[in-house]
Structure formats: structure tokens, C-alpha cells
């Protein structure tokens, strides 16, 4: 992979964007992200951290926009669709994902971060959806995910204005889950990912599925999604171990099966 690296720290997979200088999103970056997610699908990997330094991802490659306008009207739409598909894949993976955001996460970069379960920001990080300043709108899910995360009117204001949002404001409005000094951000994300990886992976995966798939459905349909996920979890080895460990008053030894 040219524009993303993949490493493992015990049961944690780490995906890092590597397209200098600002990790601008391109078709090649999306391709490498998809390949990295293939590797992270290994059953031995039980949590994932996605990051990029010095910037998480400072939006799309604007030169590609110009090329797309010159070549074909649908070219940019296809690229947005590919990024959107990778983000949706992240949401559907049955393992927790943390985005560790350094520097800028703008446009497609913020859309990518919103595909993670949690967003940890460096205290000097800046996020936003500035597409409106180019006369376009977000194309990989931000009009839906941002409004769900921060509320309809607040999400609308951020998208309409195209303004940048600092880390502390992002934390206050629910767009960030935690904020850390830049020099401790990645270690903190890895520590939390390791804690999640040591938990009952089947239960975590099914909780993620129930939350993500049930969101927005009518209550009866959402409860049916939860019931199906509960049945899957209840039949797992981890569930049996958790019950026995509780009754024996000892720490559970979850194996992710």
C-alpha cells in the first residue's frame, strides 16, 4: 500500500494514512484504506485505530475536482461513492474502531472519522465540512452522520457555513468523544482500543450492529434488530464464560468466540 500503512499492536490493528503533506483524500487513498480494512478483518484483530499525521486527512484533493469537471460530470460522484462505501464498511465491521485525529480532519477526512465508533481529537485538532465554500456539498455521508451526531440544526449550521470547528467545541457538541494533548493522543487511543480488544468481542460487535442498524428505524423494527443480535451473543462462548466468571467471582477470560 502506497498511501496507508497497516500494523498491529497485539489484538489492535492500526491504519495510518500516509499521503504527504496533508493526507488529502484521493481514489488511491480510498483504495489503500479498503485494503487496510481487509487486513483488519483478521479474526485476531479485535479493535482498530485509524489515524494520520501531522493531519488526519485535510479533505479531498481539489486538483481531482478540477480534473473531474474537465473530463466527465459523473467522475467526482464515483469517487465520493467509493469513499462512502469504505466508511459504510467501517460502520458494518463487527469490531470497535477509534479515529485518532491529529491536525485537520476536513471534508472527506471528517466523513472518514465519523465512520469510526469513537473520535479522539488532539487538543489542537480542527474539523469541519468546508465543501460549501467550493459550491458543493459533502458527498460521503456527512449530511446524514453529522446531523445525527450533533443534532439537526447544529449539523446544518456547520455544513451551511463550512466553518472550522476546534477540538473543545467538537467535544462540547458530541462530535469528539475525548480530547488529548497531541503527544499523548495516539497512545491513549491505543490503550482504549486494547481495552476494547480484551473485552467480549462478540458482544461488542453485536452491540455495534444493533446500534448502527437500529438507528432511525421504527421502534418495532429496531427492537427486532436488537433481539436478533442478542440471540447471537447469548449463544457465544464469551457469554457462557462471562456468566460462569461472574458466579465464580473471578475476572472473565474472553476469547472473542
Question: What is the reported pTM?
Answer: 0.91
Give yes or no: residues 119 and 158 share one domain: yes
Give yes or no: residues 9 and 124 share one domain: yes
Give yes or no: residues 187 and 229 share one domain: no
Question: Is position 159 within any domain?
Answer: yes
Question: Is position 254 within any domain?
Answer: no
Which residues form the catalytic set? 111, 131
Q: What range does the domain containing 212 cover? A: 201-247
**Residues 38-94: tens digit of each pLDDT:** 999 999 999 999 999 999 998 776 666 656 656 665 555 667 789 999 999 999 999
- Apex 188 CA angle, 186 and 190, nearest 5: 70
**Residues 207-227: tens digit of each pLDDT:** 999 999 998 889 999 999 999
User: What is the C-alpha separation between 225 and 78, in angstroms, rounded?
Assistant: 31
pLDDT at residue 115 is higher than 80: yes
Nearest CA to 111 out of 77, 81, 84 is that of 84
Domain count, the chain: 2
Question: Is position 155 within any domain?
Answer: yes
Give yes or no: residues 174 and 220 share one domain: no
CATH number at residue 216: 1.10.12.10
Question: Is position 255 within any domain?
Answer: no
Spatial contact of 34 and 89, defined as CB atoms under 8 Å apart: yes
Amino acid at each position: 500500500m502506497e498511501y496507508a500503512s497497516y500494523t498491529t499492536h497485539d489484538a489492535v490493528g492500526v491504519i495510518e494514512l500516509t499521503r504527504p503533506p496533508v493526507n488529502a483524500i484521493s481514489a488511491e487513498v480510498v483504495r489503500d484504506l479498503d485494503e487496510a480494512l481487509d487486513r483488519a478483518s483478521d479474526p485476531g484483530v479485535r479493535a482498530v485505530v485509524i489515524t494520520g499525521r501531522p493531519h488526519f486527512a485535510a479533505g479531498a484533493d481539489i486538483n481531482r475536482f478540477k480534473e473531474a469537471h474537465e473530463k466527465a460530470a459523473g467522475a467526482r460522484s464515483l469517487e465520493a461513492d467509493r469513499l462512502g462505501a469504505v466508511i459504510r464498511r467501517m460502520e458494518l465491521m463487527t469490531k470497535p474502531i477509534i479515529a485518532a485525529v491529529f491536525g485537520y480532519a476536513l471534508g472527506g477526512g471528517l466523513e472518514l472519522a465519523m465512520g469510526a465508533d469513537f473520535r479522539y481529537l488532539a487538543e489542537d485538532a480542527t474539523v469541519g465540512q468546508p465543501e460549501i465554500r467550493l459550491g458543493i456539498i459533502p458527498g460521503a455521508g456527512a449530511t446524514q452522520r453529522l446531523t445525527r451526531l450533533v443534532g439537526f440544526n447544529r449539523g446544518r449550521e456547520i455544513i451551511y457555513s463550512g466553518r472550522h470547528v476546534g477540538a473543545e467545541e467538537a467535544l462540547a457538541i458530541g462530535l469528539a468523544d475525548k480530547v488529548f494533548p497531541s503527544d499523548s493522543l495516539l497512545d491513549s487511543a491505543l490503550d482504549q482500543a486494547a481495552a476494547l480488544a480484551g473485552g467480549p468481542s462478540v458482544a461488542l460487535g453485536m452491540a455495534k450492529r444493533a446500534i448502527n442498524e437500529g438507528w432511525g428505524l421504527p421502534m418495532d423494527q429496531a427492537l427486532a434488530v436488537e433481539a436478533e443480535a442478542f440471540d447471537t451473543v447469548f449463544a457465544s462462548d464469551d457469554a457462557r464464560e462471562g456468566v460462569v466468571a461472574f458466579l465464580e467471582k473471578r475476572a472473565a477470560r474472553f476469547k472473542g468466540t
